[in-house]
Each structure stands twice: as C-alpha cells, then as structure tokens.
Amino acid sequence: MKRLGLVWLMAAIALMLGGNALAQDNACYEWTFSGDYGFTVNGTINPLGLAGGPAPAIYIAGVQMIHADGEGNLKDIEAIIIDGVPLVNKPPSYFSEHIGTYTVNPDCTGLAFLTNVPFGGVNFITLSFVIDQQGRQIRMLGVPPFDSGGTPRTVISVGERVEGFTPPNSGVPAVR
C-alpha cells in the first residue's frame, strides 16, 4: 500500500510540474510592453557631403522615458544631444515630447512609431524592437523611413522598466 501511495504522489507531482511547464507562454503581446521605461540612446546621423560624397558622422546621445500603455500606444519624453548641441535648447528643460503607436509580434519583436508633430515639431522615427526579460527590457533600433529630413542614421537604445514612475500630466498611474 505504501508503494502505491508513493506512486500516486510521484504521479501527482509530475502532473503538477508538467502542467506548469505547459502553462508557461513564451509569446509576447502588446501588454508585454507596458509601463514606463528609461532608455539610453546612442548613434550617428550619416549625412551626405558636398556633391553626394561622404561626410563625417554626427553623433547622437540621449535619454528617454517611454510609457507604453499595453494596448499599442506610446508617450515619450526625451533629451537628445546631436554633435554636442541639445536638440531642444529651452533651459531649464532639454526634453521634447512625442506620442506614437506600437505593435508586438508573438516572437517578441515589434515595430514602433513616434512623432512630435502634435507638439509643434516636424520629426518622426520608426523603430524596430525586441522585448527581453519578460518585458522588463526593450532594445530598439531606428529603421527607415527616417524623419522628415530623410537623412540615414544609426540609432540604438536600450530601456529598462522603471518602477513607480508616472509621466508628468499623463493621468497614467505609476507601475508598481
């Protein structure tokens, strides 16, 4: 009898472990990319020189806070330096605002679009991204089409979920 009880116990444990493994879903969804993310941005603008020849690269660096609502909408504030000059130079703030959208594929890749046109700007950026660490980290790469100037660029950013941050005037509760 003891042996039969042990067999049943082992079978129950195996079913629980097997059921748990089957319940794990490695797919990503819009809600996988949700919350507030602090990004570090680095890259270059690759302008054409005189008569279409090569010109020196112009360096880009910055920080950015993106709020993803889990339903495909983005809000962004960012401070960008281009070749040592702030993109927005209105002290005490060097930040600009953007809004946009995103889609997430089941394989945890996606595409995002951000623009500052609603805030009086003329720029947009299209970004391919990868969701990592179950949504705690996002890696982005700027891809064509590039903004209104159309100048090719290489821009990458890596963002980590920020716990407890609420974007100013967003009306969005902080992620806990």
Over the stretch 100-119, which tens digit does the pLDDT of each residue have?
999 999 999 999 999 988 88
- Confirm whether 128 is domain-assigned: yes
According to the model, what pLDDT value does residue 56 have? 85
Position 7 pLDDT exceeds 80: no
Name which of 24, 25, 41, 26 is nearest 138 in CA terms: 41
Cα–chain center distance at 107? 15
Q: What is the mean pLDDT of residues 7-29?
A: 53
- Looking at the DSSP assignment, which residues form a beta bridge with residue 13? none
pTM value? 0.75
Q: What range does the domain containing 78 cover?
A: 30-161
Position 31 pLDDT exceeds 90: yes
Is 86 in contact with 80 (CB distance < 8 Å)? yes
According to the model, what pLDDT value does residue 170 have? 46
- The pairing of strands 124-132 and 96-104 is unpaired
pLDDT band at 16 (very low <50, low <70, confident <90, very high): very low
Lowest mean pLDDT among 38-42, 48-52, 118-122: 48-52
- Confirm whether 48 is domain-assigned: yes
- Confirm whether 86 is domain-assigned: yes
Supply φ then ψ for residue 64, to 5 degrees: -155, 145
DSSP string spanning 49-64? Answer: -GGG-B---EEEEEEE
140: domain CATH number? Answer: 2.40.128.120
Burial category of 66 from C-beta neighbours within 10 Å (exposed 0-12, middle 13-18, buried 19 and up): buried
- Confirm whether 20 is domain-assigned: no
According to the model, what pLDDT value does residue 172 have? 44
According to the model, what pLDDT value does residue 121 have? 82
Is 33 in contact with 110 (CB distance < 8 Å)? yes
Over the stretch 126-156, which tens digit does the pLDDT of each residue have?
999 999 999 999 999 998 877 766 778 889 9
pLDDT band at 9 (very low <50, low <70, confident <90, very high): very low
Which residues in 47-145 belong to E strands, given as ranges? 58-69, 73-82, 85-86, 96-104, 109-115, 124-132, 137-143
- Confirm whether 17 is domain-assigned: no
Q: What is the mean pLDDT of residues 22-40?
A: 85
* Number of separate domains in the chain: 1
- Confirm whether 166 is domain-assigned: no
- Confirm whether 85 is domain-assigned: yes
Burial category of 49 from C-beta neighbours within 10 Å (exposed 0-12, middle 13-18, buried 19 and up): exposed
Q: How many helices (H) and strands (E) does the chain have?
A: 1, 9
User: If you average pLDDT over every residue of the chain, what do you get?
Assistant: 81
pLDDT band at 22 (very low <50, low <70, confident <90, very high): very low
The letter for the amino acid at 27 is: A
- Confirm whether 41 is domain-assigned: yes
Is 62 in contact with 80 (CB distance < 8 Å)? yes
